[in-house]
Structure 1
Amino acid sequence: MSDRSYPQTPQAISPLKEAWHSFRGNRPAMAGLLILGAILCFVLWGVIQNKDAFEIVWAPHSIPGEEGFVFGTDYLGRSVLTGLLAGGAPTLAVGSTAALISVVIGITVGAISGYFGGWVDNLLMRVAEFFQVLPALLFAMVLVTLFSPSLVTVSCAIGVVLWPQTARLTRAEFLKIRELEYVRAARAIGARDRRIIWRVILPNALPPLIVSATLTVGIAILFEAGLSFLGLGDPNVMSWGVMIGANRDYIFDAWWPVTFPGLAIFLTVFSVSLIGDGLNDAFNPKLRER
């Protein structure tokens, strides 16, 4: 037998691995990932400790560091650090749930609209425009007021007002993909519309939708903080927004009960935005080459 060796052809890198390599090389995106990871560890620590954030532990408005309270106490004498630890999980839960509701509604409406076109497209886009022109925060306030403030109603209200942007993005992707050859081949072999929408087109339209869903989490967290600031958060559950809303009248007397939860919200939204921008660069070939 001959010992002749043949040159090996290089293996193609999968799109996901290529996107990960691009994301890993994006320093701001990796910094956002590290910040978000640290916040999640902080929140997990709070869940494990499971302390009562509403317990009065010392005199009101104790400055940070006094009597061992690292972040001081609020206007009732509750520990700000305990509130940050206990309030992280509800805040992130509201943001994630609201983003999930928004993405599910948006993808469903956008996929049907972009795939079928015609009067279906016109009808669904008019509905999306109706929701888009409504003042989002005001509409969310009305929904929360009608169904009483709770984590579930706040999450649903935020998700309902944020879906039109995802729907328009999904529609644009479906309009672009539905005429490609592999979609026509699926129709030719008799695949049903439902299978073509969810199994053929949607997987190829996911990258920009993932980016949109990531950014929606940050927007939902800001919405929750805004509603809580206006007194429409769940008063029985501590969250970072509830902490800001409860202490807003005393900000000139004691800055720390408002500043520390505000900083936590800022860092969370900032890290999510950095990750979203990194995902956008990683999934977009033109931006990746640049």
Structure 2
Amino acid sequence: MAIILGDNRYGKAENRIVRIFRDESRHEIRDLNVSTALRGDFAAAHLVGDQSNVLPTDTQKQTAYAFAKQKPLGTIESYGLDLARHFVDDVPPVTGARVEIEEYAWERVRVGGVEADHTWVRRGQEVRTASITVEGSGDDRRTWVTGGLKDLVILKSTGSEFHGFLVDRYTVLQPTTDRIMATSLVAKWRFAHAEVDWDAAYAGIRRILVEQYATVQSLALQQTLYEMGRAVLEAYDEVVEVRLSAPNKHHFLYDLSPFGIENPGEVFHADDRPYGLIQASVLRDDAPDPGPAWDAYTGLV
């Protein structure tokens, strides 16, 4: 039986980059978490410890920081494309690069009703994300871009049901036609090409996801996720796939009867674990296949 080296990659994870723009008297801020992963002919490093083809992970870190200054930092998608293309085009052993980016939002402090020029507070828990993969060169160049978000905590107090489910001898859950439905949503959407108004797409897709969550009369969280993904694909021709991951943040009606108090669906215990985890992919039936290299990095979810 032969033993061989399988799929491999390496990179620098979670480079925390804060960029302050001082071109005007009113400063701007961008706050990123950037991870890089490179693929290529690195077998010798694994098999015999030969590092001659290995660009140090520290160099990847330094490049990410340098690009934050040297390149226009317009959107995380465009910044990630610049970074990934550099690694593939300018580092000979590298045949593929993946860049994962999270962006943390800040909002300006208001002093006397006026926005401060130089002071911000972190805004909420929601994080904008992007993943950029570049492989090959010339006519064989392939590029995939996903936008996304995570930690979007959303709750609806009605409009959610769960009944008619499979029952066996271990089932104790009672069916319901009215319940709280809450989640901390992770969503990623794959674009058909790399020529997109990234900011407009993010804002529009986020709005659709939230609106669908709010308005769909949900018979199951699975149904809601499908309707969210379908609505995005109907609205955006440039999006070919939406993947959604939704932990069910359970809220259980609290029993106040020992105290002689009625509780008609008003006081709940928020239970953080264990939780149901619902995940789904919604895509066009003619969506281009991103190929095995896609999941070889980290995949969509």
- Same fold (TM > 0.5): no
- With structure 1 as the length reference, what TM-score do the two structures score? 0.33
Greater percentage in helix = 1
Greater percentage in strand = 2
- With structure 2 as the length reference, what TM-score do the two structures score? 0.32
